[in-house]
Amino acid sequence: MLKIGLVSVSDRASSGIYQDKGIPELSSWLQKAIKGDFIIETRLIPDEQTIVEETLIELVDEHACHLILTTGGTGPAKRDITPDATMAIADKVMPGFGEQMRQISLHFVPTAILSRQVGVVRKQCLILNLPGQPKSIKETLEGVKSDDGKVLVSGIFASVPYCIQLLEGPYIETNESIVNAFRPKSAIKQ
């Protein structure tokens, strides 16, 4: 069964100053977007590189997650260390994910160029750093759509099911009204 780790990286949310909005947004979006059952492991942690690294390693090595989505800590500020921690535990870098996330976000805000979001693989798990704001999370996953719902720029989740399939993980089907997963014809199960 598909196992997904959701990690919110925030000093203030992890200390109770305000309520985390990243994990609830991700969880809700995944429930709508993915057909079939899956298991979610959640973690709310501070912006501490060692803690982020340990959390990602735990979710991959001990819980065997196929996908980890992080939210928060991707900007240029001193405490924004999520990409650094992610890169430190990675086996492979998947630069296309970071490029696509910034391309999508640039349609909405010019400050998207400040984002340091990355995508990596550790063992057989895809790890993606998403933005911290719920609206931006949804935009990044779904992409840019016209007023009539036509996809103008694909969201990153369109590539996630095939990537996980290539990593020998479970076959994931999506709700096409939310996000249409792309696979080459030879990789589509009938």
Question: What is the set of domains in the chain, with CATH numbers?
Answer: 2-187 (3.40.980.10)
165 contact partners, CB below 8 Å, separation of at least 6: 171, 172, 183, 187
Going by DSSP bridges, is the β-strand pair 34-35/38-45 parallel, antiparallel, or unpaired?
A: unpaired
pLDDT value at residue 149: 83
pLDDT score recorded for residue 190: 77
Please report the pLDDT score of residue 13 as a whole number: 86
pLDDT value, residue 15:
83
pTM of the model: 0.96
The HSE-up count of residue 57 (CA atoms within 13 Å, CB side) is 10
Tokens of 78: 């001193």
DSSP codes of every residue in 91-118: SEE-HHHHHHHHHHHHTT-GGGGG----
Q: Coil, strand, or helix at residue 168?
A: coil
In this predicted structure, the answer to whether residue 24 has a pLDDT above a threshold of 80 is: yes
Q: Which of 42, 38, 11 is nearest to 25 (CA)?
A: 42
**Per-residue pLDDT reduced to its tens digit, 44-99:** 999 999 999 999 999 999 999 999 999 999 999 999 999 999 999 999 999 999 99
Q: Which of 4-18, 21-35, 69-83 has the lowest mean pLDDT?
A: 4-18
Angle at 158 between CA 42 and CA 116, to 5 degrees: 60
DSSP category for residue 59: I
Cα–Cα dist 56/32, whole Å = 25
pLDDT of residue 16: 85
- The secondary element (H helix, E strand) that includes residue 160 is helix 160-166
The band of 3, judged by pLDDT with boundaries at 50, 70 and 90, is very high
Instruction: Give the side-chain half-sphere CA count within 13 A for 153.
Output: 16
- Mean pLDDT over 164-187 rounds to 94
